[in-house]
Amino acid sequence: MSSTGVARPPKECRRCAYFRNDPAYLETVLPGLTSFGSAHASVRGDDGLCCRHGRYRNARSSCSAFRSREPCVEDTPIQFESLSAAKLTLNPDHPVRADQKGTSSM
Amino acid sequence: MSESQAELRGGAPTRQSVGWNELWLKEDWWAIWLGLGIVLAAYILFANLSSIRWLAVTPAKWSTFGQLGAHFAANILRYVAQFVLWAVTFTIALTALGYKAREFLPSFALLYLLSVVIFALGQWDQANYYNLEPPLIALVVGLFISNVTPLPRWLDAGFRVEFYIKTGIVLLGATLPFTLIVWAGPVAILQASTVSITTFLVIFWTSRRLGLDNQLAATLGAGGAVCGVSAAIAIAGAVGAKKEYAPIAITVVILWAIVMIFVLPFTSYALHLHPGVAGAWIGTSEFADAAGFAAAQIYAGYAGSGGIAGTGDQAIWAFTLMKVVGRDVWIGIWAFVLAIISTTRWEVATPDQRIDVAQIWWRFPKFVIGFIVASLIVTYVTSGVSIADFNKVANPGLIAPIKDLRTWAFIFCFLSIGLTTRFRDLARAGSKPFAAFSIGVAVNVVLGFILSAVVFASHWQNLTR
């Protein structure tokens, strides 16, 4: 919690726009997974595919190529104003933005 | 539009299912809710001088079609009720996991219908003579349908191998005395750990000698040593493997797991192994829970005939102890250790792969908790019962119906294995990963046999209630 009282979500893969860990998606792109396994199993945790690095990763990892899927506080102390600015500057085609409009392709 | 922009737009959203969410977003927990729900319902009815027996209908032994027809005519209502029970409970669970009921229900109806036919065929009095064990028939029929007929993909919603096998394992806990888990568990852990570590090192070392990189070697090694496909994806995530590596490991695991469904029980039969010994061997040397249960169930069908002394339960119990208690539960430890090695030794250039000690818990196969709790419940409620009363009252009224429902769950699973294994869809593994894994298989099978049939043979032969 910052001094301003705003929670600071870390820049982890699970919050990154390049990260895909939806079970139905994983069962489509990992052929054979459903034959003797499942993307809904506890052993998978929240692991998923990073489409930036082409790797299958722990959802709590992070890297310098992080791209925000949702408002994420940067390294500098957060202010309410800058959080609002971050929301306003989201790409209109961003998946999160699309979901909020109810226009997701899913 | 750049490639990265296309990926951003086209991919699925992320989903967080670790933490409290896991209780309704992971199939392990749904297997627990469903399995323990059945066990508790069975106990409550039993305690009130009733039984779940009516719902746990199974095809009876038959020798003529007239007998078979008469059985179904007399019990059709029970089958309908049982179908409704399964359909409703599975639909609730799978809807929570994100599946559509309108896709699951017709798929499950087909699965149930095929399961009834396969179960009935397995009850034919000549089935043993022709090797028509239900797991074998289910596997072959499923493979034929999925690889030869144009089955619509949306039907896959009902072919949930892992969910059915986990539900079956929780139910199996109710038929396995907890005292047996305590007595036989340490030997299972010792034997399974010996074979797992050896197999992993052999596959890893061979992979490296063949020029494969560390992450692929580890993913293959875990797939062969711990719990097949589940281990492969767990370790791929823990070490940050390239996205191609998990599918490669999945392909070789599937191919060898299917081969071993046939090889292990038939070799055991040829050697006239005791069911407990064969179960331990299968538990040590099969790669996936579902495949292993298929192999163990096949051998259980041979017990008590053809010169095979012992009971079918002993094969299932030994397999379960070895595979579930001896191997599956350690996947979190494997993931944690390999994540440390990966980050500190192999791929220091990999950007910030997280070493997360909490994964020991969140990768833990939670259905094992349901298995243990089910065993504790039934062991507790039957603890003061004499052997005579157990055989006369508790077994037929409480345990046998749970066992019959477990058999249904296993048949759903065995059929789903075949129905979801489309060989043309599997990733091309390449000769080197296949060779490395195969050498590991050879070492695993020989070492597993020596430990099961020689070193700990008397232990596995003496598994009894």
- Minimum Cα–Cα distance from B153: chain A residue: A28
Number of structural domains (chain A) is 1
CB pair distance less than 8 Å for B11 and A52: no
CB pair distance less than 8 Å for A106 and B12: yes
Residue A5 falls inside a structural domain = no
B131 has pLDDT over 80: no
pLDDT band at A70 (very low <50, low <70, confident <90, very high): low
Mean pLDDT across the stretch B145-153? 91
Distance from CA of A87 to the nearest CA of B (A): 18
**pLDDT score for A11:** 82
**pLDDT score for B43:** 95
Give residues with Cβ within 8 angstroms of A17, minimum separation 6: A67, A68, A69, A94, A95, A96, B8
Percent of chain B with pLDDT over 90: 79
Residue A3 falls inside a structural domain = no
**pLDDT score for A73:** 41
The ipTM (two decimal places) reads 0.90
Least confident of B87-101, B172-186, B303-317, B433-447: B303-317
CB pair distance less than 8 Å for B11 and A40: no
Residue A50 falls inside a structural domain = yes
Cα–Cα distance measured from residue B402 to residue B397, given in angstroms and rounded to the nearest whole number: 9
Cα–Cα distance measured from residue B240 to residue A63, given in angstroms and rounded to the nearest whole number: 12
* Residue B58 CB neighbour total at 10 angstroms: 22
A2 has pLDDT over 80: no
In chain A, positions 22-81, which contact chain B (CB-CB < 8 Å)?
Answer: 22-25, 29-65, 67, 69
Question: Is the pLDDT higher at B176 or at B9?
Answer: B176
pLDDT tens string A71-81: 444 333 333 33
Mean pLDDT across the stretch A57-64? 88
**pLDDT score for B350:** 54
Distance from CA of B457 to the nearest CA of A (A): 29
Give the tokens for residue B395: 């077994």
Give the tokens for residue B125: 């009095």
CB pair distance less than 8 Å for A55 and B243: yes
CB pair distance less than 8 Å for B247 and A24: no
Least confident of B221-230, B351-360, B365-374, B396-405: B351-360
A104 has pLDDT over 50: no
Strand A55-57 relative to strand A19-20: parallel, antiparallel, unpaired? unpaired
B334 has pLDDT over 80: yes
Quote the domain boundaries for residue A24: 13-100
B170 has pLDDT over 50: yes
Residue A6 falls inside a structural domain = no
A85 inside 8 A of chain B by CB: no
**pLDDT score for B133:** 85
**pLDDT score for B358:** 87
pLDDT band at B306 (very low <50, low <70, confident <90, very high): confident
Q: What is the mean pLDDT of chain B?
A: 91
Residue A74 falls inside a structural domain = yes
B2 has pLDDT over 50: no
Mean pLDDT across the stretch B344-372? 83
* Residue B246 CB neighbour total at 10 angstroms: 31
Mean pLDDT across the stretch B339-363? 80
**Which CATH entry fits the domain spanning B23-461: 3.40.50, 3.40.720, 1.20.1530, 1.10.3470?**
1.20.1530
Among the partner residues A14, A43, A65, nearest to B331 by beta-carbon distance: A43
Distance from CA of A40 to the nearest CA of B (A): 5
pLDDT band at A82 (very low <50, low <70, confident <90, very high): very low
Packing angle, helices B312-320 and B161-173, rounded to 10: 110
pLDDT band at A87 (very low <50, low <70, confident <90, very high): very low
Give residues with Cβ within 8 angstroms of B148, minimum separation 6: none
**pLDDT score for A5:** 52
Mean pLDDT across the stretch B442-456? 97
Domain spans, chain B: 23-461
